[in-house]
Structure 1
């Protein structure tokens, strides 16, 4: 196995890794705020909204992400009457599926974080005369985030690995180029290189979240 060959197959896989990283950042940027909004809706006093949010979480967590991707990529366009208006680029459809799926998981993580905040914190804020917004942003959210951070870290690392599912809907990401090289050259070396690239990406994420955990631990 020559060095020239390794360089030649690594180039396209790094291009595919760009798609992987782009999908990760789009999903993390959209799904975390959406997940928090869903958490607030779950805790809403308006019961129909709370039930709707619970149902959303149940469906998105109870069905495979691959099935959801297939629905948005191939199912929406065949819906009678409105299907022709719902056709999306494969990457955009996959982004939508990832965002909606991970928002449900983050919603449950944030709900657990909110439950971990002692009720005395709310009472103390009320005694101090803080309004609901200041109580939420200055007291509740920092404590919730500190509790939820390890779970958010684990879910984010899972997300970077789940991007390999893009291969199933013909989006050219890292695994796609690795599989293409394997089929063309009859060698498993591209899979090893793809594995190393995934490990490097998860290593960067792990170090970043470890830094965040140390930062919030001492606040």
Structure 2
């Protein structure tokens, strides 16, 4: 039979019947997942039951002090510390990152020394140093170096516990934010900087109009993590006695000896605030991820095809 001749009708019928035979797809059985899920549920039930039924936790006391005036005042101070310290950290971090990337070796070196110093010493040590700075410098003034001083202030009156807390938390955070911002800036293609320079745009305008908006996609996620971390890190100001949430809880249980319930109250408020910040972070990330390939996948529903049951191919 030559290649130009058609196959006999019987062969065509047999081929059609074979092609029309449905394929029986057998789904993959993931027995390990079911076993792991049952074990996790069992352990979760044991933990929840032990927490709920443990009389030593004194849940009625937790309810009595959850909205106590002293707890709410400490919570307010914690939020104020978090917001202002993060503002100091973000502004200082952007400034330090720009300095770190400067071609001027003195500017870059000064930023590098700052980052090295504040990241290399414990935060609690920095808080204590700021709080007791008056022991080293009794007065802080403005004037001409090695010359007259125009105005000066008493250090102990100028740097209160609140100011020391802001200086310790904010300046320390600036060192970490500097590295986050620097990584975001360096993630932008350098060709865009060269193109902007060729168009006659200044370095500052290029950074503000082109580089930073694109770098925000890289900067936002770790910044959100730093904000949540800052909320919990504010508890370290207990070392200098500033009244915040943990200090409020300690003040109460030092009087009524209800240590465990008051610690649970503080933990519940921290969990609530971190959950709110997490939701805000997710919304901000979605806003800045618009137009990216990941955002397109989420909006068009391709993710369900890629990760659906059976691992079906994308058509």
Instruction: Decide: shared fold, TM above 0.5.
Output: yes
Q: State the SS of the aligned residue for 1:44.
A: coil
Q: Gaps spanning 5+ residues in structure 2: where?
A: 1-57, 141-152, 292-315
Match of 2:192 in 1: 121
Q: Which runs of 4+ in 1 moved over 4 A?
A: 1-5
Structure with higher Rg: it is 2
Are 1:193 and 2:265 matched, yes or no? yes
Q: Gaps spanning 5+ residues in structure 1: where?
A: none
How do 1:159-174 and structure 2 match up within 5 A?
159-174=230-245
| Conserved 8 A contact 2:253-2:262 | yes
| Conserved 8 A contact 1:31-1:106 | yes
Report the CA distance shift for 1:167/1:80 in structure 2 as closer, same or farther (over 3 A): closer
Report the CA distance shift for 1:112/1:180 in structure 2 as closer, same or farther (over 3 A): same
Match of 1:53 in 2: 111
Are 1:35 and 2:93 matched, yes or no? yes
Structure of higher RCO (CA pairs closer than 8 Å, 6+ residues apart): 1
Q: Of 268, 283, 292, which residue of structure 2 is paired with 1:211?
A: 283
Are 1:112 and 2:170 matched, yes or no? no
Q: State the SS of the aligned residue for 1:10.
A: coil
CA shift digits 1:110-142 (9 cap, x unpaired): 011111111122233345454433321221001
For residues 17 and 177 of structure 1, what CA distance do their matches in structure 2 show? 8
TM-score normalised by length of structure 2: 0.65
Report the CA distance shift for 1:90/1:145 in structure 2 as closer, same or farther (over 3 A): same
For residues 72 and 227 of structure 2, what CA distance do their matches in structure 1 show? 20
CA shift digits 1:163-199 (9 cap, x unpaired): 0011111111100111222232233111111101001
Are 1:13 and 2:71 matched, yes or no? yes
